[in-house]
A and B are shown apart, each in its own frame.
Chain A
């Protein structure tokens, strides 16, 4: 593997490690994962509660409150795990756009052996942390 390729892979790895360090720190200090979704609280609660939100509530405590100024609803999920963060983002996408955007299966050129090993882990961190 050439030096340039190693450098590229290192860049990805550094990003991943930074995200991991951040995640660890956040997990200790933050209790809830909260995101704002452009939907009225009445569309997210009671009988109207969407299936995606109901599924999230099976394993997490979920709180829905009105966001100020017509900004929709603030959905809070506890505990603030990486999985909760990824799931809540998916719920937000689903509620706002009707689908969860995928990049797996995209066109790509030749990955190096290190790239193949590091990239999925870095992406996983990039979805679950911060």
Chain B
């Protein structure tokens, strides 16, 4: 079959690879109908995630059809249309049972990478380096899904592929950002980053009762999308001093909840950004913390900072003084998607939640390298490129 492989820093290629087979009795094989790029892939492309090797298949946000199930799969059936959570849970360790699926004890077969780097290993993730288990990704015609009963969810008939594909990662991640921050009626929520996850966090905040949502980015097309599709007020950080603007907009209080949906490769302006770039470039820090610092500084006293952006190592100049002296609550995590996906599909089915507008560039799998170029460099208004391995005619990106 064909699959998109990482071949080196900023280098991906579509290669012929062997078809996947069942490796465990609880596996399923899913024929991929659509597979999305994700902002977190850029950290792999850019070489910031160690433990990548040439030949690794990328992709973790996908839907498809079950074509084979192992003998111990009881809930999934061949022929079902499913969305698969990007993070793999076993469903039976203490963390999965508590609903904290991304902390699964049993789905990362290479735990020492993370145990050495951060103390403990989290769950495995499709197509996300050997440190996250070394699972083959979904930018392929077929993918093997471990513990299929717990990780693949049937998609209601009236939910389109274009909405459902994002129920794999962007929608539950965004939802979780608002959920773990306990967003409720009357809250003012600021969201850094208007990519797929940020926009879904905005929608989630409104659905949870937030009164105002403020979106922060610099790309006009993403800001317009956040305004039109998520109903957010917008701030362009290249034209506005974000901290001043947020105080003005909130009667001097600051947002009740600050959601950071940018991550370790954040962009900004001014000397702080230059400092972060230089230190990261010299490998003196692993992650750039510009947006994280800003979210902490902006947050109202006693507020919640919810971090969805991917950070992998160390952030310098972390404003711990603000956390302590403003009594802030810091929440974070990789998404516990399995906890949210059934509810999110239900909301999609009821027409109360849609994500398809994120899909700006449907493409064939063969065009995936071009798709990553458009996505990474924000060319042609690309918010998300989605690859259709069996539907070449969908390629509309070039």
Contacts and interface: CB of A to CB of B under 8 A. Distances in A.
B112 A110 contact: no
Contacts of B72: 98-99
B148 to A, nearest CB: 12
Interface in B245-295: none
A112 B11 CA distance: 14
Given A9-B54, A122-B51, A109 B112 contact: no
Contact size class for A?
A: 35 or more
B343 interface: no
Contacts of A109: 3, 5, 7, 13, 15, 17, 54-57
Interface in B69-121: 72, 90-94, 97, 105-107, 109-113, 115-117
Nearest to B57: A107
A105 B124 CA distance: 16
B93 A15 contact: no
Contact of B53 (A3, A9, A72): A9
B152 to A, nearest CB: 16
Interface stretch (A43-51, A55-63, A89-97): A89-97
A27 interface: no
A81 interface: no
B110 to A, nearest CB: 4
A22 B142 CA distance: 37
Contact of B24 (A4, A99, A108): A99
A8 B47 contact: yes
B19 interface: yes
Contact of B23 (A89, A102, A108, A119): A102
Contacts of B144: 106-107
Interface of A is mostly: helix
Given A96-B93, A127-B111, A11 B51 contact: yes
B131 A101 contact: no
Contacts of B57: 107-109
Contacts of A38: 92-94, 97
| Dominant SS among interface residues on chain B | loop
B74 to A, nearest CB: 12
Contacts of B231: none
Contact of A110 (B11, B54, B91): B54
Nearest to A109: B5
Given A101-B107, A115-B54, A123-B130, A4 B10 contact: yes
Nearest to A85: B112
A64 interface: no
Contacts of B105: 92, 96
B109 A101 contact: yes
B18 interface: yes
A103 B54 contact: no
Contact of A105 (B17, B21, B90, B106): B21
A103 B57 CA distance: 13
A111 B54 contact: yes
Contacts of B112: 19, 22-23, 125-130
16 contacts: A7-B9, A8-B6, A8-B54, A11-B47, A11-B50, A15-B51, A93-B106, A102-B24, A107-B20, A107-B136, A108-B17, A109-B57, A110-B15, A122-B51, A126-B110, A127-B109
